[in-house]
Amino acid sequence: MSAQIFLASTNAGKRAEFAALLATHGLELGAKIEYPDVEENAVDYLGNARLKAEALHRELRRRGIPAVVIADDSGIEVDALAGAPGVRSARYGGIELSWSQRRALMLDDLAAVPDALRTARFQCVLVGIDEAGNEYRGLGETRGRIARGERGDGGFGYDPLFVPEGERRTYAEMSAEEKSETSHRARALHALIAAMRR
């Protein structure tokens, strides 16, 4: 397995998180590579992750770069919203909304929901494709609840709203190292790397 991994994502927060997580496994995040836009129209996380991984893998091959590629699709599933937004987490309320607006919409949608019923989980599915084109998968889940309001300045996406089980702080109130101890992405990456190293 190559010591350098290319990530199929342009999300700065996600790239920073993966760089730190990969480093704990002795791996390096490769430079951001531009690749053709992928319409994430699959019905599940696995399908979307595969679309992105395959698109970047094809681009690297076109450039003559043999490399390992990983891609994730992740989302938050809120029980009081019947599991929404789920696979549509990055498009909750419409693609034109900012992350701040998406979080505000979620808080509004949950305004009448009591604390005991604000349970949620982060899901992450990773797809890895090695130099030979073999596909591997890693799954990760973190359970918790949705806070009554945004808290913290760290993280990205829904981190200011999500309080993992056993914690009083949101992910956005934790350091990156603390978040990685329970992160759905950390768990998925650990599983993926274990599968690729077998």
Asked if residue 4 has pLDDT above 80, the reply is: no
The answer to whether the peptide bond before residue 36 is cis (omega within 30 degrees of 0) is no
Q: Which residue has the tokens 């009083």?
A: 168
Confidence of residue 11 (pLDDT cuts 50, 70, 90): confident
Confidence of residue 192 (pLDDT cuts 50, 70, 90): very high
Q: What is the pLDDT of residue 9?
A: 92
Q: What is the pLDDT of residue 96?
A: 96
Q: How far apart are CA 70 and CA 134, in angstroms?
A: 12
Contact 173, 149 (CB under 8 A): no
Total domain count, the chain: 1
Contact 42, 106 (CB under 8 A): no
Which residues carry out catalysis?
73
Asked if residue 195 has pLDDT above 90, the reply is: yes
Q: Please write the tens of the pLDDT for every residue from 44-74.
A: 999 999 999 999 999 999 999 989 999 999 9
Q: What is the pLDDT of residue 2?
A: 65
Here the CATH number for the domain that contains residue 79 is 3.90.950.10
Q: Please write the tens of the pLDDT for every residue from 136-190.
A: 999 999 999 999 999 999 999 999 999 999 999 999 999 989 999 999 999 999 9
pLDDT (average), residues 119-148: 97
- Residue 137's domain comprises 4-197
Dihedral sign for Cα atoms in the order 41, 47, 48, 54: negative
The DSSP code for 58 is: H
Residue 128: which of 43, 39, 197 has the closest Cα?
197
Top pLDDT among 10 and 123 is at: 123
